C-alpha cells in the first residue's frame, strides 16, 4: 500500500523526428529497416509471459514486395485461446492488488523504451509489415503510442483523484476498480499505436487482457510485446494470440468471465461481435463493456469562400497519406462549382510530384496498400468509375501489382452524390468529388449529413464565419471529430480525443480520460464516524 500521494511525470506530446534528407535520424532508421528486411523473423504468441511456438507457421510478406518473405508467425488453436484466458484470470488478483504507482511505472518505462532504444525498431517493423513511410511510421508507431502510454498514466491519476464531497461527520470516496473478469482487445493493421493502446490502457487500470492483433500487423505487435515485457509487465496480464478471428470471438465472448471488448476494425465485424455478446448476455458474471471504433466515410466540404490552396492540400494529405488507409482519411469531398477547376489544378500539380514506392526510400510519399484484397477492391472502384456514365477518373487511376500492391492517388469526379465511391467505404487512396452549385450550399450540408451511415471525421473549409457556423450546426452529428480549415486526419493524443458515432463506433474517445473510465467499475464508499444509536428522527419528537 502506498504511503504517499504520488504525482506522475507531466505528460507532453512526444516530439516528431523530421527525418530530413541526410539527417542522422533518417540514416539510422533506414539502416535499421535494411537490417530487419534482410532477417527472417520468427514470431511466437505470448501466453502467461512465455513464448508459444506451435509449428503451424504462417509466412509474412511485405505489401511493398509481396515476393519478399521476411519471416513467419506461429498460428494458434482454440486451446491457446483457452490458455490465454486462464493465464489472464490467474494473473488478475496479484495485478489488481499491485499499487497503481507500480502499474504506472511499467507503462511509463515502456514509453521511454519506445522513445529511445526501440524507436527505430518499432518504426522499421511498421514500415516493413504495414508499408508506412518514415513520417507515417514515426507519427504512429513511435510518437502516438508513446503519447498514449504517458497521457493515459496522467489521465488515470486525474480520474483517481476525482472524489465526491463529504459532509460533516462522514467521509465519501470512490475507488476505480478494474472490471470483474478479463478483457478482450481486437486491434487493426493500420495503426501500431492503436494496437498497443487498446490492450495497454485496459491493463494500466488493473485489468487483464487477451489481445488478438491483426495478422497484417504482427511484426510491430511483437515489438510492442517485447517492450512491455522489458518494461516489467507481469506474466499473464496481457496475452498475445494469433488465432482465427471468428472462432476466437465465439469462444471468448461465450466465456462467463468476459468483462469487456476493446475493438478497432470493420463495422461488420464489430456488429457481429456485439450480436454475439447479446446472445450470451445471460451467461456473464457482469454486463460487459463494449468499446469500438470502426469504419468511416470521412468528408471535406468547401464553401465558396474557402482558400483554394488550403482545400487542395488538405485533400491531397487527408486522402493519400498512408494510402487512404486511415479510419479518418478523406474519401468524399463536396466542392463548389466556382472553386473546382482551380482546386483540381492545384491537386493535379501536387499529385504529379508525389513519389510512389517502398518505404525504404524516404522520399516516397505513397507506399503500398496492405494486401491483394485491398488492391483488388481499389482497382474495382477505379475500373467501374472509368466505365460509368456518371463518374470519371480525373486524376491518377493507375495500379501496379507486379512487385507490391501499389495504387496511385486517384480522384473520381461524379455527377451523382450517391454514386458508390461517394458513399461506400473503400479504405484506399481514392477520393471522390461531387461538384455542387454555389447557391446549393445549405442543401449540400444536408447531403453530407445524410449520405453516409458513418460519423467519424469531417472537415469544413471556409473564410466566411457565418458559413462555418452553418456547417458546425448542420453537421453536428455527421462526425465525432470535426475540423475547421484543416484535413480530417491526424488527431493528437491529449489534444483531439478521437472517435465517432453512428456506424463508426461507440465514440468513447481514445486519447482521453473518457475512454479510461470505461475500463473501471466504480465503487462508492461512505464512512460514518459516529453512528446513530436511535432509530428516531427529530420529526418523531
Taking residues 469-482, report their average pLDDT.
99
Are residues 343 and 303 in contact, defined by beta-carbon separation less than 8 angstroms?
Answer: no
Q: Which of 229, 252, 222 is nearest to 53 (CA)?
A: 222
Domain residue spans in the chain? 26-294+505-525, 298-484
303-315 pLDDT, tens digit per residue, is 999 999 999 999 9
Residue 2 has pLDDT above 90, yes or no: no
Are residues 390 and 415 in contact, defined by beta-carbon separation less than 8 angstroms?
Answer: yes
User: In angstroms, rounded to a whole number, what is the distance separating the alpha carbons of residues 471 and 453?
Assistant: 18
392-428 pLDDT, tens digit per residue, is 999 999 999 999 999 999 999 999 999 999 999 999 9
Residue 541 has pLDDT above 90, yes or no: no
* Catalytic residue check, 437: no
Give me 44's grid cell: 511466437
501-528 pLDDT, tens digit per residue, is 999 999 999 999 999 999 999 999 999 9
Task: Give the pLDDT of residue 1.
Answer: 53
107-165 pLDDT, tens digit per residue, is 999 999 999 999 999 999 999 999 999 999 999 999 999 999 999 999 999 999 999 99
Top CATH class, 26-294+505-525: alpha beta
Between the CA atoms of 341, 343, 345 and 349, what dihedral angle is there, to the nearest 10 degrees? -170
Query: Could you give the percent of the chain with pLDDT greater than 70?
Result: 100
User: In angstroms, rounded to a whole number, what is the distance separating the alpha carbons of residues 295 and 452?
Assistant: 11
Strand order in the sheet with 298-302: 391-395, 410-414, 430-436, 330-336, 298-302, 457-461, 481-484
323-356 pLDDT, tens digit per residue, is 999 999 999 999 999 999 999 999 999 999 999 9
Given 327, 413, 420, 425, the catalytic residue: 327
| DSSP state letter for 498 | B
Residues 6+ apart with CB under 8 A from 229: 46, 49
Q: Which of 103, 142, 151 is nearest to 123 (CA)?
A: 142
Q: Architecture of domain 298-484 in CATH?
A: 3-Layer(aba) Sandwich (3.40)
Given 293, 321, 420, 425, the catalytic residue: 293
* Catalytic residue check, 230: no
Task: Give the pLDDT of residue 3.
Answer: 85
Are residues 498 and 193 in contact, defined by beta-carbon separation less than 8 angstroms?
Answer: no
User: In angstroms, rounded to a whole number, what is the distance separating the alpha carbons of residues 126 and 144?
Assistant: 13
Q: Which run of H or of E encompasses 136?
A: helix 134-137
Q: What mean pLDDT, rounded, does the chain reach?
A: 98
Amino acid at each position: 500500500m502506498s504511503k504517499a500521494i504520488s504525482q506522475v511525470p507531466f505528460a507532453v506530446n512526444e516530439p516528431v523526428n523530421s527525418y530530413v534528407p541526410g539527417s542522422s535520424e533518417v540514416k539510422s532508421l533506414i539502416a535499421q529497416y535494411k537490417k530487419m528486411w534482410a532477417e527472417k523473423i520468427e514470431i511466437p504468441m505470448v501466453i502467461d509471459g512465455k513464448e508459444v511456438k506451435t509449428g503451424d507457421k504462417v509466412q509474412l510478406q511485405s505489401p511493398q514486395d509481396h515476393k519478399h518473405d521476411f519471416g513467419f508467425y506461429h498460428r494458434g488453436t482454440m486451446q491457446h485461446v483457452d490458455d490465454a484466458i486462464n493465464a489472464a484470470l490467474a494473473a488478475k488478483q496479484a495485478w489488481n492488488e499491485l499499487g497503481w504507482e507500480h502499474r504506472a511505472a511499467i507503462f511509463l518505462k515502456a514509453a521511454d523504451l519506445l522513445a529511445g532504444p526501440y524507436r527505430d525498431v518499432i518504426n522499421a517493423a511498421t514500415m516493413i509489415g504495414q508499408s508506412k513511410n518514415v513520417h507515417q511510421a514515426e507519427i504512429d508507431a513511435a510518437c502516438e503510442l508513446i503519447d498514449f502510454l504517458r497521457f493515459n498514466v496522467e489521465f488515470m491519476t486525474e480520474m483517481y483523484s476525482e472524489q465526491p464531497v463529504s459532509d460533516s461527520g462522514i467521509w465519501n470516496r470512490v475507488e476505480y476498480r478494474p472490471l470483474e473478469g478479463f478483457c478482450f482487445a481486437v486491434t487493426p493493421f493500420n495503426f501500431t499505436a492503436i494496437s498497443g493502446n487498446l490492450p495497454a490502457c485496459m491493463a494500466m487500470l488493473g485489468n487483464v487482457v487477451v489481445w488478438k492483433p491483426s495478422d497484417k500487423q504482427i511484426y510491430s505487435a511483437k515489438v510492442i510485446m517485447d517492450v512491455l515485457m522489458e518494461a516489467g509487465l507481469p506474466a499473464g496480464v496481457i496475452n498475445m494470440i494469433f488465432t482465427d478471428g471468428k472462432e476466437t470471438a465465439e469462444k471468448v465472448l461465450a466465456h462467463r468471465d468476459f468483462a469487456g471488448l476493446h475493438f478497432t476494425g470493420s463495422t461488420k465485424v464489430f456488429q457481429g461481435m456485439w450480436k454475439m455478446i447479446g446472445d450470451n448476455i445471460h451467461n456473464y458474471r457482469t454486463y460487459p463493456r463494449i468499446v469500438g471504433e470502426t469504419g468511416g466515410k470521412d468528408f471535406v466540404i468547401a464553401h465558396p469562400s474557402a482558400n483554394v490552396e488550403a482545400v487542395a492540400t488538405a485533400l491531397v494529405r487527408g486522402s493519400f497519406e498512408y494510402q487512404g488507409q486511415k479510419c479518418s482519411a478523406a474519401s468524399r469531398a463536396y466542392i463548389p462549382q466556382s472553386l473546382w477547376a482551380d482546386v483540381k489544378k492545384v491537386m493535379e500539380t501536387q499529385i504529379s510530384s508525389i513519389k510512389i514506392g517502398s518505404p525504404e526510400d524516404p522520399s516516397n510519399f505513397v507506399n503500398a496498400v496492405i494486401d491483394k484484397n485491398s488492391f483488388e477492391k481499389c482497382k474495382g472502384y477505379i475500373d467501374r468509375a472509368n466505365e460509368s456514365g456518371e463518374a470519371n477518373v480525373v486524376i491518377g487511376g493507375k495500379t501496379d501489382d507486379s512487385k507490391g500492391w501499389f495504387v496511385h492517388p486517384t480522384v473520381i469526379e461524379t455527377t451523382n452524390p450517391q454514386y458508390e465511391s461517394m458513399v461506400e467505404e473503400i479504405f484506399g487512396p481514392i477520393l471522390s468529388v461531387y461538384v455542387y452549385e454555389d447557391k446549393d450550399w445549405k442543401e449540400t450540408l444536408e447531403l453530407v449529413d445524410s449520405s453516409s451511415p458513418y460519423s467519424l471525421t469531417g472537415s469544413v473549409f471556409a473564410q466566411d464565419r457565418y458559413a462555418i457556423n452553418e456547417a458546425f450546426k448542420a453537421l453536428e452529428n455527421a462526425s465525432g471529430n470535426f475540423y475547421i480549415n484543416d484535413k480530417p486526419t491526424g488527431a493528437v493524443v491529449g489534444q483531439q480525443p478521437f472517435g465517432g458515432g453512428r456506424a463508426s463506433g461507440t465514440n468513447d474517445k481514445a486519447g482521453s480520460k473518457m475512454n479510461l473510465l470505461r475500463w473501471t467499475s466504480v465503487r462508492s464508499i461512505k464512512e460514518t464516524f459516529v453512528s446513530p444509536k436511535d432509530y428516531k428522527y427529530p420529526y418523531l419528537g
